[in-house]
């Protein structure tokens, strides 16, 4: 069960979470606005060790950050998936996502058309990479 939860976190970092609030004054968040497609995730976990998961392994996902502070995320983990909506707040390189009462914090960076999100959960660290859709 913990491995499945971790896999869901990997695919979207927003598949089991959402976003909390608006984007404040908008400083530093303009680059996040738009659609992003899951590419891969590096996982360091006490449950599975260190591994990389990719779309070739049956993982897929996407997230769209809207300028009004809302988002839509969808994903598929080995045939099990769903769509989630919520709101997001970004300040500096910190991103907070909240959906259905669940909140997840991550750090993010954007380089060219690549978005990297890093978060920790259940003793595991996940760094997910997305490309601009």
CA–CA dist 103, 111 (Å, integer): 25
Identify the weakest region by mean pLDDT among 7-16, 71-80, 93-102.
7-16
Q: What digits encode the pLDDT tens for the residues 22-64?
A: 333 333 467 899 999 999 989 898 887 898 888 888 888 999 9
Please enumerate in sequence order all residues whose Cβ is within 8 A of that of 34, keeping only pairs 6 or more positions apart, or say none: 64, 65, 132, 133
The pLDDT assigned to 77 comes to: 80
Q: What digits encode the pLDDT tens for the residues 95-119?
A: 999 998 888 899 999 999 999 999 9
Stretch 82-97: mean pLDDT:
92
User: Structure tokens of 44?
Assistant: 């360091």
Please enumerate in sequence order all residues whose Cβ is within 8 A of that of 61, keeping only pairs 6 or more positions apart, or say none: 11, 12, 15, 37, 38, 73, 74, 75, 76, 81
Q: Sorting pLDDT into bands at 50, 70 and 90, what band is 1?
A: very low
How high is the mean pLDDT of the chain?
79
Q: Where are the domains of the chain?
A: 2-132
What is the CATH number assigned to the segment(s) 2-132?
2.40.128.280
């Amino acid at each position: 069960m913990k491995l499945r939860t971790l896999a869901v976190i990997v695919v979207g970092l927003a598949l089991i979470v959402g976003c909390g609030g608006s984007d404040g004054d908008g400083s530093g968040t303009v680059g996040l606005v738009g659609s992003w497609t899951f590419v891969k995730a590096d996982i360091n976990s006490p449950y599975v060790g260190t591994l990389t998961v990719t779309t070739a392994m049956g993982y897929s996902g996407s997230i769209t950050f809207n300028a009004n502070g809302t988002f839509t995320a969808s994903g598929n983990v080995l045939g099990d998936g769903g769509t989630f909506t919520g709101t997001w707040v970004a300040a500096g390189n910190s991103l907070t996502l909240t959906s259905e009462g669940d909140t997840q914090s991550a750090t993010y960076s954007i380089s060219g058309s690549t978005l990297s999100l890093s978060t920790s959960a259940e003793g595991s660290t996940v760094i997910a990479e997305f490309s601009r859709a």
